[in-house]
């Protein structure tokens, strides 16, 4: 059996190697390393795939979030609502821009931001909501957009883990994750569902004015060369990464399908185990399984990855510490116990290997090892 990894980028590359190698060497031969044709081609291809008017590429997903908040003109003291259970980047950029992160709890089933909790957190200073489509499933965007309309707030979707996920809105129209709010952000970090071979990110919007502003902010606040209308940043997707993404975008749906097959096999193996809860599916969203995350109860969560390691199976805890309990984010506004769902999740989640190249033998080894651990701990 081939060695199991959380994400197997090597086997995936081997299948598309001729195409990727050619795309990369074409860029090198053209020496159009920055803003070359590959970047424009990728932006258009992604616009088409997502059904969105504007895709603006940038250097990474964290920049995508930061540029979005800058383009919206959010100012010092403005409050931005974000989930307490997420990767740190979401809250980090809010804090970095001198905005006030207002954390709210998540839904215990889908792990996504709770619309009721958002409503309770709104104050006259609230300017934006950043739902994170965690682990590959779109949050309850109808409820979130409704709240945003009522309270005149911007919605920036953090779709770094959910690219390709489909969301069925209240008008029964399927929308791509990240194209429902005012702005959507994604990351092309290599292990993401659409990963390049370095760093990359993108911002999506249907708003023409906002698109111009985003382009300007991402490019030193400049629309006409050497005339700076905004204070911006320098954040670009380079042409080599765009060339890789042009190849991989064509496979994105097939990659999502491969992940869903692994998830189905995991579900099947674990659904009747009293100590395990398989990932809940939100009825309005497809799940593209950036991660497959189990909840464990009645057993020592931390010993499960240790046991799996003895069988050469990696497993990860996403995420071990809620944002409000992270050292850099300790804030007198928040105490341990304030976000009970998040805190419970941090104690009970475990993510299993999930990627596009898993074979039946590997899946069998993983599921039988998890079941073996349950058997041992029950004795």
Among 12, 57, 62, 348, binds ligand PLP (CB under 6 A): 62
Among 86, 112, 342, 351, binds ligand PLP (CB under 6 A): 86
90 binds ligand PLP (CB under 6 A): yes
The stretch near ligand PLP (CB under 6 A) out of 55-63, 142-150, 266-274, 277-285 is: 55-63
Among 100, 137, 187, 219, binds ligand PLP (CB under 6 A): 187
Place of tokens 């009522």: 150
d(CA 356, CA 353): 10
* Contacts by 22-29, CB closer than 8 A, 24 or more apart: 23/243, 23/244, 23/246, 23/247, 24/240, 24/243, 24/244, 26/243, 27/239, 27/240, 27/243, 28/240
Neighbours of 190 (CB within 10 A): 15
Among 33, 189, 197, 307, binds ligand PLP (CB under 6 A): 189
d(CA 45, CA 244): 13
Name which of residues 256 to 315 contact ligand PLP (CB under 6 A).
none
61 binds ligand PLP (CB under 6 A): yes
Residue 293 or 362: which CB sits closer to ligand PLP?
293
Name which of residues 118 to 177 contact ligand PLP (CB under 6 A).
132, 158, 160-161
DSSP calls for 221-286: TEEETTEE-S---B---BHHHHHHHHHHHTTHHHHHHHHHHHHHHHHHHHTT-TTEEPPP--TTB-
57 binds ligand PLP (CB under 6 A): no
Residue 249 or 374: which CB sits closer to ligand PLP?
249
205 binds ligand PLP (CB under 6 A): no
Residue 318 or 373: which CB sits closer to ligand PLP?
318
Q: Which residues contact 372 (CB under 8 A, 6 or more apart)?
A: none
- Least gap, CB of 159 to ligand PLP (angstroms): 8
- Least gap, CB of 303 to ligand PLP (angstroms): 26
- Least gap, CB of 86 to ligand PLP (angstroms): 5
d(CA 153, CA 161): 23
Size of the site for ligand PLP (CB under 6 A): 15
Torsional sign, CA 341, 133, 92, 181: negative
- Least gap, CB of 287 to ligand PLP (angstroms): 15
Residue 179 or 362: which CB sits closer to ligand PLP?
179
Among 23, 24, 52, 89, binds ligand PLP (CB under 6 A): 89
Q: What is the DSSP letter of 217?
A: H
DSSP calls for 25-41: HHHHHHT--BS-HHHHH
Residue 60 or 219: which CB sits closer to ligand PLP?
60
d(CA 342, CA 319): 9
- Least gap, CB of 62 to ligand PLP (angstroms): 3
Dump strand ranges (E) for the chain.
Answer: 54-58, 79-83, 100-104, 126-129, 154-158, 166-168, 174-176, 183-187, 201-205, 222-224, 227-228, 276-277, 292-296, 349-352
362 binds ligand PLP (CB under 6 A): no
Residue nearest to ligand PLP (CB): 61
The stretch near ligand PLP (CB under 6 A) out of 74-82, 84-92, 142-150, 208-216 is: 84-92
Q: What residues line the site for ligand PLP (CB under 6 A)? A: 60-62, 86-87, 89-90, 132, 158, 160-161, 187, 189, 199, 201
């Amino acid at each position: 059996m081939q060695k199991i990894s959380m994400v197997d980028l090597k086997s995936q590359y081997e299948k598309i190697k001729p195409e990727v190698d050619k795309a990369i060497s074409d860029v090198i031969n053209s020496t159009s390393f920055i803003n070359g044709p590959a970047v424009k081609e990728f932006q258009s291809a992604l616009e088409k795939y997502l059904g969105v008017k504007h895709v603006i590429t940038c250097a990474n997903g964290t920049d995508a979030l930061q540029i979005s908040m800058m383009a919206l003109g959010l100012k010092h003291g403005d409050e931005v609502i974000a989930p307490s259970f997420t990767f740190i980047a979401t809250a980090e950029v809010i804090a970095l821009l001198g905005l006030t992160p207002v954390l709210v709890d998540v839904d215990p089933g889908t792990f996504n931001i709770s619309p009721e909790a958002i409503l309770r957190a709104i104050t006259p200073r609230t300017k934006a909501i950043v739902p994170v489509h965690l682990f590959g499933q779109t949050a309850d965007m109808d409820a979130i957009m409704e709240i945003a309309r009522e309270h005149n707030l911007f919605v920036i979707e953090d779709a770094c883990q959910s690219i390709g996920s489909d969301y069925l809105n209240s008008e029964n129209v399927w929308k791509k994750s990240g194209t429902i709010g005012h702005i959507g952000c994604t990351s092309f970090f290599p292990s993401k569902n659409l990963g390049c071979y370095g760093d990359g990110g993108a911002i999506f919007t249907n708003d023409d004015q906002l698109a111009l502003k985003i382009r300007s902010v991402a490019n030193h606040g400049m629309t006409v060369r050497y005339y700076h209308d905004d204070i911006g940043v320098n954040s670009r997707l380079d042409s080599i990464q765009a060339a890789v993404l042009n190849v991989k975008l064509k496979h994105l749906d097939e990659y999502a399908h491969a992940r869903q097959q692994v998830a189905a096999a995991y579900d099947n193996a674990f659904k009747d185990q009293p100590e395990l809860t398989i990932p809940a599916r939100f009825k309005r969203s497809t799940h593209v399984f950036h991660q497959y995350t189990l909840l464990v109860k009645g057993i020592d969560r931390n010993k499960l990855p240790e046991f799996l390691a003895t069988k050469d199976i990696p497993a990860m805890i996403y995420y071990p510490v809620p944002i409000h309990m992270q050292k850099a984010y300790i804030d007198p506004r928040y105490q341990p116990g304030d976000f009970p769902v998040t805190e419970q999740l941090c104690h009970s989640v475990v993510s299993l290997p999930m990627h596009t190249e898993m074979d039946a033998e590997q899946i069998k080894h993983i599921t039988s090892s998890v079941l073996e651990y349950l058997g041992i701990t029950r004795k």
